[in-house]
């Protein structure tokens, strides 16, 4: 079957229409008359990565539908989707993935490994399935897993938390974020986001009707602009969202930065929501949890997940740690979003979180080796590579190669060079701010990374 | 810091079902309350999940094959033409499919019509999205609704109606005639319908489950939600879906991606096997549950419960307290836990006092405290043990009174 493409109006303006099969539809998209959607996936053959496949558009203006069955007795209301979706963008990932498949490109775009998780964790899941642990788990998590999370949290931050009252298990950190925002944010509340940001933040905040205030982190070191922060935080600020280590830049918030944010939060009674899924991929400095700073635990929701640390991104095991008065809201929303989290995987996750220190040491060592291959390679090719302290991402400036913007560059990279990167403009409130940057990932096996570097060395020419 | 909670969260109360479950656990009671099996899931499906984990199906994925199978099933069961590429969103359980559907179509102030009694989660979800639930009563003892009252509950602000059939807690399977009335209301007011069909394969006495979407004029305005959980006894796997016209499916997928990003990968693989189970599997499922329904009905009748309406589907039986019983449903269930070591769910949690038409008087509202829901999705051994305990209790009481 022919795959179809769809774009929101904003993207249609930003992008040149693709020259292949999709162009048939470009005129239709530019009219943005209806939302189209499709999904596709690649049946996973052994060596090929699989891709998330979702895309859709939302009509940005109301359309009247003709009453075809003649049964309407009043002027037909347009069957439209909720206003809260108007901010939702197409996921660029899918577009790139499709192009990648077509051109046989090596995918250093999407952030999941092409190698698998550790045997001991997989075995635990299998055992749980065989032992019949296949029914609803307790909504906020199985006691074993909550306890393991609390134990790990103590090890990482020094904080002692009550697993029964202060830990909530969710379907991935993505759901933890959704539950936190929907459970704690009222329509009209001001929330501060640091751009560039993981794409679910903006979407979920707009679902909650929040007023988003963005502060941009800029190259080369993506440091927090303290003055801008001070002038943005006010008594009207409800919450601030921090992702550290940071996707896509790899930045890690320093103690000084966190201290400044903390004092502003205390002064203005602001909550902090932290996304720390890459905390075990901290290379250049130690990861610091905001919750561990003086007086901050009481106003912080700390979120994390299994997926990145254990290369099991498809299991959807995440969690939120927060004081009881904040956990309540998170649990309420969670109970209506998914009600309960995958049971066998929670049992396996309990085992995973009790992994010995050696697991984490080896994880870092492996990733450091991969990082070296990619970073050295990107530098040799001619990119301006920004230092990345953590995560498995690195952002680079692509302008030496003479393309107009990040999307044009990524398309060129796929078609002419056979490598996929992600254009970072999608991670900003104002896409213009990201047009010089693209993101590469090194969560791939070494051979894949080397091949990608070779292709770029061979075919990517500076202008 | 409590003021930091959103207004939505502040209005929520803990689930009465879960609270009783905790009491039951403390008393080591036989749990006929929560709707999940205590018998194992089908072996072949578990094996596929195990093999998926071993074969490295552990990263984010979307398994298109599930959509293909679902589209085929919709055609076979309901003669619905569904495009597997555009009309289906795979979610973490029917819960998430429903939540995403609500968030996809409900704006602040939109009214949503629901039948009363109903599964407690719908209202919470609708309220979280800023919607306004409007209830239409299913009248005991047969849980029928008045078409006039249904039609009158639709207004210019009505966005959608939620239909759960086969129905939790009553076990009602909405008839063709009833669905036609609902369809007429939807078409007349140009509204959407969101259905919860998780018990679609659990119907009894050859009663057919009819999907609202299969009625004329309905497919283009209906979002069907369902899951693997009840059909395949894997409530803990979190594999569900929404089937809807492309514009809605796409919006639901968008939201799902922001809420959880993907359903658990290895279980998506297992879903492929589950969804291609032979007809014998589904027939066996029905027969087994029908037997259990009859068993539990007999047991409850023998201890005085009044079963005016025998479930036509689902895994629940909604029974009225014995005639001479003066306790409320909650009091009775507490007694049942303490004295008999059996737990069920008091029906009041499923009822809503504020019904759309005239508010009910205290007297006519009384029935809302007279019903108890029993789940029979348990092993024969469990049901037999419960039967024993209940009849022991009855004999003990009788002895006491003689």
Cβ contact, residue pair B217, A345, below 8 Å: no
Give B140→chain A minimum CA distance, Å. Answer: 28
Torsion angle, CA of B380/B386/B390/B392, rounded to 10 degrees?
Answer: 90
Check which CATH number belongs to the domain holding B153 and give it: 3.40.640.10
Give A62→chain B minimum CA distance, Å. Answer: 13
Cβ contact, residue pair A41, B64, below 8 Å: yes
Cβ contact, residue pair A314, B190, below 8 Å: no
d(CA A286, CA A283): 7
> Mutating which of A342, A352, A426 best tests the B interface, going by the most B Cβ atoms within 10 A?
A342
Q: Which member of B65, B128, B253 has the closest CB to residue A37?
A: B253
Is the confidence at residue A79, as pLDDT, over 60? no
Average pLDDT for chain B: 91
A79 touches chain B (CB under 8 A): yes
In the three-class reduction of DSSP (H, G, I as helix; E, B as strand; rest coil), residue A106 is classed as strand
Average pLDDT for chain A: 83
Q: Which residue has the higher pLDDT, B34 or A152?
A: A152
d(CA B58, CA B76): 31
Q: Which member of B106, B221, B263 has the closest CB to residue A79?
A: B221
Cβ contact, residue pair B261, A74, below 8 Å: no
Question: Residues near B209 by Cβ (< 8 Å), separated by ≥ 6?
Answer: B77, B165, B166, B173, B197, B199, B200, B201, B203, B313
Looking at B274, B305, B335, the residue that finishes a domain is B274
Provide the greatest CA pair distance for chain A. Answer: 70
d(CA A29, CA A8): 7
Give B109→chain A minimum CA distance, Å. Answer: 12
Terminal alpha carbon distance of chain A: 39
Give B98→chain A minimum CA distance, Å. Answer: 8
Give A461→chain B minimum CA distance, Å. Answer: 34
Question: Can you tell me which residue has the tokens 């740690």?
Answer: A321
Tens of pLDDT, residue by residue over A358-373, are 999 999 999 999 999 9
Is the confidence at residue A51, as pLDDT, over 80? no
In the three-class reduction of DSSP (H, G, I as helix; E, B as strand; rest coil), residue A304 is classed as strand
A328 touches chain B (CB under 8 A): yes
Is the confidence at residue A386, as pLDDT, over 60? yes
The chain A residue lying nearest B159, using CA atoms, is A79
Ordered DSSP codes for B220-285:
GGEEEEEESTTTTT-TTS--EEEE--HHHHHHHHHHHHHHTSS--HHHHHHHHHHHT--HHHHHHH
- Which residues in chain B are contacts of A118 at CB distance < 8 A? none
Same domain, B191 and B310: no
Looking at B218, B242, B274, the residue that finishes a domain is B274
The two tokens of residue B247 are 């514009």
A333 touches chain B (CB under 8 A): yes
- Which residues in chain A are contacts of B220 at CB distance < 8 A? 79
- Which residues in chain A are contacts of B65 at CB distance < 8 A? 43
Give A237→chain B minimum CA distance, Å. Answer: 12
| pLDDT at residue number A3 | 30
Tens of pLDDT, residue by residue over B265-275, are 999 999 999 99
Same domain, B340 and B305: yes
A127 touches chain B (CB under 8 A): no
> Mutating which of B4, B18, B112, B267 best tests the A interface, going by the most A Cβ atoms within 10 A?
B4
Question: Residues near A433 by Cβ (< 8 Å), separated by ≥ 6?
Answer: A195, A196, A216, A425
Looking at B241, B274, B307, the residue that finishes a domain is B274
Question: Residues near B152 by Cβ (< 8 Å), separated by ≥ 6?
Answer: B356, B357
| pLDDT at residue number B12 | 63
In the three-class reduction of DSSP (H, G, I as helix; E, B as strand; rest coil), residue B85 is classed as coil
Q: Which member of B6, B65, B258 has the closest CB to residue A203?
A: B258
d(CA A325, CA A335): 16
Same domain, B263 and B311: no
Same domain, B123 and B31: no
Percent of chain A, pLDDT > 70?
A: 80
| pLDDT at residue number A463 | 74
Is the confidence at residue A385, as pLDDT, over 80? yes
| pLDDT at residue number A374 | 97
Its pTM stands at 0.78
> Mutating which of A52, A54, A178, A188 best tests the B interface, going by the most B Cβ atoms within 10 A?
A54
Give B104→chain A minimum CA distance, Å. Answer: 5
Q: Which member of A40, A122, A133 has the closest CB to residue B85?
A: A40
Per-residue b or e along A284-316, where b marks 16 or more CB atoms closer than 10 Å to that residue's CB:
eeebbbbbbbeebbebbbbbbbbbbbbbbbbbb
Question: Can you tell me which residue has the tokens 């679910």?
Answer: A200
Is the confidence at residue A66, as pLDDT, over 80? no
| pLDDT at residue number B356 | 59
Tens of pLDDT, residue by residue over A309-336, are 999 999 999 999 999 999 999 999 999 9
Cβ contact, residue pair A344, B1, below 8 Å: no
Cβ contact, residue pair B54, A57, below 8 Å: no
Percent of chain B, pLDDT > 90?
A: 78
Same domain, B90 and B153: yes
Q: How many domains does chain B have?
A: 2
Give yes or no for a contact between A290 and A262, defined as CB atoms under 8 angstroms apart: yes
Same domain, B212 and B310: no
d(CA B361, CA B349): 18
The chain A residue lying nearest B157, using CA atoms, is A77
Same domain, B65 and B214: yes
Cis previous bond, A137, omega within 30: no
A337 touches chain B (CB under 8 A): yes
Is the confidence at residue A64, as pLDDT, over 80? no
Cβ contact, residue pair B59, A312, below 8 Å: yes
What is the mean pLDDT of the segment spanning B104-118?
96
- Give me the total of CB pairs closer than 8 Å, taking one residue from chain A and one from chain B: 309
Give yes or no for a contact between A198 and A243, defined as CB atoms under 8 angstroms apart: yes
Tens of pLDDT, residue by residue over A182-203, are 999 999 999 999 999 998 899 8
Is the confidence at residue A2, as pLDDT, over 80? no
Check which CATH number belongs to the domain holding B309 and give it: 3.90.1150.10
Percent of chain A, pLDDT > 90?
A: 74
Q: Which member of A1, A35, A341 has the closest CB to residue B251?
A: A35
Give A218→chain B minimum CA distance, Å. Answer: 26
Same domain, B200 and B314: no
Domain that holds residue B391: 2-40+280-400
d(CA A343, CA B237): 6
C-alpha closest to that of A403 among A436, A442, A425: A436
In sequence order, what are the beta bridge partners of A239?
Answer: A191, A271
What is the mean pLDDT of the segment spanning B350-366?
69
| pLDDT at residue number B364 | 66
Please give the DSSP secondary-structure letter assigned to residue B183.
H
| Lowest mean pLDDT, pick from A345-349, A456-460, B136-140, B396-400 | B396-400
Cβ contact, residue pair B64, A298, below 8 Å: no
Give B361→chain A minimum CA distance, Å. Answer: 31
Alpha carbon B52 to chain centroid, angstroms: 29
A113 touches chain B (CB under 8 A): yes
- Which residues in chain A are contacts of B63 at CB distance < 8 A? 41
Cβ contact, residue pair A314, B262, below 8 Å: yes
| pLDDT at residue number A37 | 29
Give yes or no for a contact between A349 and A356, defined as CB atoms under 8 angstroms apart: no
| pLDDT at residue number B355 | 65
In sequence order, what are the beta bridge partners of A305?
Answer: A318
Interface of A with B in 162-181 (CB under 8 A): 170-172, 174-175, 178
| pLDDT at residue number A75 | 47
C-alpha closest to that of B193 among B169, B174, B175, B217: B217
> Per-residue confidence at A20, pLDDT binned at 50, 70, 90?
very low
Same domain, B51 and B156: yes
In the three-class reduction of DSSP (H, G, I as helix; E, B as strand; rest coil), residue B315 is classed as coil
Helix (H) or strand (E) holding B76: helix B64-78
Cβ contact, residue pair A316, B40, below 8 Å: no
| pLDDT at residue number A28 | 24
| pLDDT at residue number B247 | 93
E strands, A307-404, where? 318-321, 384-385, 393-397
Cβ contact, residue pair B251, A312, below 8 Å: no
Cβ contact, residue pair B62, A207, below 8 Å: no
Is the confidence at residue B194, as pLDDT, over 90? yes
Same domain, B56 and B202: yes
Cβ contact, residue pair B260, A316, below 8 Å: yes
| Lowest mean pLDDT, pick from A405-414, A446-455, B4-13 | B4-13
Tens of pLDDT, residue by residue over B286-341, are 999 999 999 999 999 999 999 999 999 999 999 999 998 999 999 899 889 888 99
- Which residues in chain A are contacts of B219 at CB distance < 8 A? none
Tens of pLDDT, residue by residue over A91-127, are 677 778 788 888 999 999 988 899 999 999 999 999 9
Q: Is the dihedral of CA A128, A129, A132, A135 positive or negative?
A: positive
Same domain, B254 and B176: yes
Cβ contact, residue pair B95, A36, below 8 Å: no
The chain B residue lying nearest A51, using CA atoms, is B61
A339 touches chain B (CB under 8 A): yes
In the three-class reduction of DSSP (H, G, I as helix; E, B as strand; rest coil), residue B40 is classed as coil
Torsion angle, CA of A381/A387/A389/A395, rounded to 10 degrees?
Answer: -60
Cβ contact, residue pair A43, B64, below 8 Å: yes
Same domain, B130 and B222: yes
The chain A residue lying nearest B38, using CA atoms, is A135
Give B370→chain A minimum CA distance, Å. Answer: 27
Is the confidence at residue B402, as pLDDT, over 70? no
Tens of pLDDT, residue by residue over A258-287, are 999 999 999 999 999 999 999 999 999 999
């Amino acid at each position: 079957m022919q795959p179809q493409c769809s774009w929101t109006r904003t993207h249609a303006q930003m992008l040149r229409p693709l020259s292949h099969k999709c162009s048939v539809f470009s005129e239709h998209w530019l009219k943005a008359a209806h939302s189209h959607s499709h999904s596709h996936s690649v049946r996973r053959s052994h060596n090929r990565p699989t891709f998330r496949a979702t895309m859709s558009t939302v009509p940005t203006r109301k359309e009247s539908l003709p009453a075809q069955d003649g049964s309407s007795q009043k002027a037909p209301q347009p069957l439209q989707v909720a206003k809260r979706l108007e901010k939702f963008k197409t996921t660029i990932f899918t577009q790139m993935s499709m192009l990648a498949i077509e051109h046989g490109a090596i995918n250093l775009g999407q952030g999941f490994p092409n190698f698998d998780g550790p045997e001991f964790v997989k075995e635990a899941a299998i055992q749980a399935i065989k032992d019949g642990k296949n029914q609803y788990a307790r909504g906020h998590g199985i006691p074993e897993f909550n306890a393991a999370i609390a134990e790990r949290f103590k090890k990482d931050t020094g904080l002692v938390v009550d697993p029964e009252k202060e830990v909530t298990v969710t379907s991935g950190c993505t759901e933890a974020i959704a539950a936190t925002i929907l459970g704690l944010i009222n329509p009209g509340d001001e929330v501060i986001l640091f751009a560039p940001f993981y794409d679910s933040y903006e979407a979920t905040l707009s679902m909650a009707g929040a007023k988003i205030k963005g502060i941009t982190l800029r190259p080369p070191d993506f440091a927090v602009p303290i003055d801008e922060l001070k002038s943005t935080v006010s008594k009207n600020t409800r919450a601030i969202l921090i992702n550290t280590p940071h996707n896509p830049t790899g930045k890690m918030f320093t103690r000084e930065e966190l201290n400044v944010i903390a004092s502003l939060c205390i002064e203005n009674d602001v909550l902090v929501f932290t996304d720390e899924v890459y905390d075990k991929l901290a290379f250049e400095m130690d990861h610091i949890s905001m919750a561990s700073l003086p007086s901050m635990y009481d106003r912080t929701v700390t979120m994390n997940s299994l997926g990145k640390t254990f290369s099991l991104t498809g299991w959807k095991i995440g969690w939120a740690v927060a004081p009881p008065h904040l956990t309540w809201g998170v649990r309420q929303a969670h109970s209506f979003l998914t009600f309960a989290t995958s049971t066998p995987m929670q049992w396996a996750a309990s085992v995973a979180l009790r992994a010995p220190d050696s697991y984490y040491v080896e994880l870092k060592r492996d990733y450091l080796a991969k990082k070296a291959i990619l970073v050295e390679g990107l530098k040799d090719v001619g990119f301006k590579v920004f230092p990345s302290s953590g995560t498995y991402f690195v952002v680079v400036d692509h302008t030496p190669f003479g393309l107009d913007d990040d999307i044009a560059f990524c398309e060129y990279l796929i078609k002419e060079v056979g490598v996929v990167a992600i254009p970072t403009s999608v991670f900003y409130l104002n896409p213009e701010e990201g047009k010089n940057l693209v993101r590469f990932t090194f969560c791939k096996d070494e051979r894949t990374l080397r091949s990608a570097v070779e292709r770029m060395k061979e075919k990517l020419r500076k202008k | 810091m409590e003021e930091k909670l959103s207004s939505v969260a502040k209005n929520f109360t803990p689930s009465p079902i879960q609270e009783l479950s905790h009491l039951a656990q403390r008393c080591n009671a036989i749990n006929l309350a929560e709707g999940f099996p205590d018998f194992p899931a089908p072996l072949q499906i578990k094996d596929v999940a195990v093999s998926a984990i071993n074969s490295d199906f552990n990263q984010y994925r979307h398994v298109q094959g599930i959509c293909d199978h679902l589209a085929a099933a919709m055609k076979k069961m309901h003669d619905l033409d569904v495009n597997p590429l555009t009309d289906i969103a795979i979610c973490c359980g029917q819960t998430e499919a429903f939540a995403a559907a609500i968030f996809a179509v409900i704006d602040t102030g939109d009214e949503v019509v629901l039948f009363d009694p109903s599964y407690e989660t719908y209202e919470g979800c609708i309220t979280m999205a800023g919607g306004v639930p409007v209830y239409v009563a299913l009248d005991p003892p047969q849980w029928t609704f008045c078409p006039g009252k249904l039609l009158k509950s639709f207004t210019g602000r009505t966005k959608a109606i939620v239909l759960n059939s086969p129905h939790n807690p009553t076990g009602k399977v909405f008839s063709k005639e009833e669905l036609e009335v609902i369809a007429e209301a939807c078409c007349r007011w140009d509204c959407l319908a969101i259905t919860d069909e998780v018990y679609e394969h659990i119907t009894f006495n050859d009663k057919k489950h009819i999907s609202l979407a299969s009625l004329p004029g309905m497919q283009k305005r209906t979002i069907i939600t369902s899951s693997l959980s009840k059909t395949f006894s894997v409530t803990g796997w979190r594999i569900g879906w929404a089937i809807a016209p492309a514009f809605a499916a796409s919006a639901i997928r968008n939201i799902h991606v922001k809420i959880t990003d993907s359903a658990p990968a290895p279980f998506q693989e297992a879903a492929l096997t589950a969804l291609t189970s032979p007809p014998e599997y589904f027939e066996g499922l029905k027969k087994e549950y029908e037997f259990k329904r009859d068993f539990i009905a007999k047991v409850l009748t023998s201890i005085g419960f009044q079963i005016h309406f025998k479930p036509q589907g689902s895994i629940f039986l909604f029974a009225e307290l014995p005639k001479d019983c003066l306790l409320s449903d909650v009091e009775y269930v507490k007694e049942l836990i303490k004295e008999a070591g059996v737990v069920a769910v008091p029906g009041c949690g499923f009822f809503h006092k504020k019904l759309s038409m005239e508010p009910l008087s205290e007297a006519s509202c009384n029935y809302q405290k007279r019903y108890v829901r029993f789940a029979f999705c348990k092993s024969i051994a469990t049901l037999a043990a419960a039967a024993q305990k209940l009849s022991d209790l009855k004999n003990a009481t009788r002895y006491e009174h003689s």
